[in-house]
């Protein structure tokens, strides 16, 4: 049977686009999920009352605030306190001290939980793994006051165990007061943070490691991959998004050195390297009563933290990672 070539074939009917779901009015949605919104209220109230309403107080950074005149009666001075901060003799020293501690924190304290979590993940004896996890969590629950007291006991020149051990190791008969010397301040602070924070920081990474598909390890073993190759090509890529998110969050706290720890470890002998923005705000505002100037310092630190979070998030996306928002 001959085919009629002159007759053009009929075009296939176009597939109909799926209809968009009708938009639910806001009132209907609230009424439908009223119990969920009701459970949300305490959290929203907490952030509004304790996080957002106090932000009104940062306006005194642009005033010469006097308590008996209040917010409305104190004179406005513009950027006077910020100019005083940036041109003052303390700014460079505070910035250097804070950034050095932040760099050491990123190098050691941020990376230690990742390494410890990877080591724990390689343990095959569950009771040993859980015992180590429990032991390294304990320091997190101790206050910085106790940590500072323990440090003093260990490093005291007269009776400190570590101080005596260091003398024997170095063959030095002179007693060294590590707590009072500037050159040992940062090392001791980082050791404290490692001891207190490493165990608790492993929780998030161990949770991320628990979500790695076991089939990936099975496939790697079938391909002849060693334990190190499995770690490099399976484990690390699997937890990379978690590490990136934690790094973005940590970047916002780069200028936040932790007031309590630094204040407890600061003495008149090591103040030159120990003073950071957090303690400077306390000395300027609480001890000297310069509320507007100390608020300006705190506002500068907060704005810098926000910029660092957005900058690190942008950098993570530029490097092909998902980012935080």
C-alpha 169/C-alpha 166 separation (Å) is 5
DSSP class of residue 321?
-
Amino acid 5: pLDDT:
45
Q: Are 201 and 140 in contact (CB under 8 A)?
A: no
Two structure tokens written together for 183: 């050159």
Two structure tokens written together for 17: 């686009």
Two structure tokens written together for 301: 């630190």
Q: Are 206 and 150 in contact (CB under 8 A)?
A: no
C-alpha 83/C-alpha 85 separation (Å) is 5
Domains of the chain: 92-319 (1.10.3720.10)
Provide CB contacts within 8 A for 319, sequence distance 6+.
none
| Side-chain half-sphere CA neighbours of 223 within 13 A | 12
Residue 93's H or E segment, with its range, is: helix 91-104
Amino acid 17: pLDDT:
54
Q: What is the mean pLDDT of residues 6-33?
A: 66
C-alpha 225/C-alpha 219 separation (Å) is 9
Higher pLDDT, 78 or 3: 78
Split at pLDDT 50, 70, 90, the class of 2 is very low
DSSP class of residue 83?
H
**Digit-coded pLDDT (tens) for 29-39:** 888 888 999 99
Strand partners, 76: 63
Two structure tokens written together for 300: 């500068």
Kindly report which listed range (16-20, 185-189, 213-217) carries the lowest average pLDDT score.
16-20
Total-model pTM: 0.82
Is pLDDT of 66 > 50? yes
Q: Are 276 and 257 in contact (CB under 8 A)?
A: yes
Amino acid 262: pLDDT:
94
Closest by CA to 63, choosing from 73, 77, 53, is 77
Concatenating the DSSP letter of every residue in 279-311 gives HHHIIIIIIT--HHHHHHHHHHHHHHHHHHHHH
Q: Are 325 and 306 in contact (CB under 8 A)?
A: no
């Amino acid at each position: 049977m001959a085919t009629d070539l002159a007759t053009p074939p009929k075009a296939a009917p176009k597939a109909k686009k799926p209809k968009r779901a009708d938009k639910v009015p806001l009132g209907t949605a609230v009424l439908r999920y009223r119990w969920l919104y009701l459970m949300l209220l305490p959290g929203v109230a907490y952030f509004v009352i304790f996080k957002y309403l106090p932000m009104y107080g940062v306006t005194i950074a642009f005033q010469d605030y006097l308590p008996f005149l209040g917010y409305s009666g104190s004179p406005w001075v513009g950027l006077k306190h910020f100019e005083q901060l940036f041109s003052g003799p303390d700014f460079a020293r505070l910035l250097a001290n804070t950034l050095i501690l932040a760099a050491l924190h990123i190098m050691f304290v941020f990376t230690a939980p990742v390494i410890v979590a990877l080591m724990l993940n390689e343990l095959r004896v569950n009771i040993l793994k859980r015992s180590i996890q429990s032991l390294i969590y304990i320091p997190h629950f101790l206050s910085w006051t106790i940590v500072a007291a323990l440090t003093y006991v260990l490093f005291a020149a007269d009776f400190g165990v570590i101080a005596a051990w260091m003398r024997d190791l170095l063959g030095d008969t002179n007693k060294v007061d590590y707590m009072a010397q500037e050159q040992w301040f940062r090392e001791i602070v980082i050791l404290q943070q490692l001891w207190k924070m490493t165990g608790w920081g492993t929780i998030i990474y161990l949770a991320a490691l628990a979500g790695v598909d076991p089939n990936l390890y099975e496939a790697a073993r079938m391909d002849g991959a060693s334990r190190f190759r499995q770690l490099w090509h399976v484990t690390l890529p699997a937890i990379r998004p978690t590490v990136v998110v934690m790094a973005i969050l940590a970047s916002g706290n780069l200028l936040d050195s932790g007031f309590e720890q630094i204040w407890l470890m600061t003495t008149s002998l090591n103040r030159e390297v120990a003073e950071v923005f957090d303690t400077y705000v306390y000395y300027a505002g609480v001890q000297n009563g310069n509320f507007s100037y100390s608020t300006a310092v705190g506002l500068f630190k907060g704005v810098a933290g926000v910029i660092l979070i957005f900058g690190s998030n942008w950098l993570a996306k530029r490097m092909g990672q998902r980012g935080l928002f």
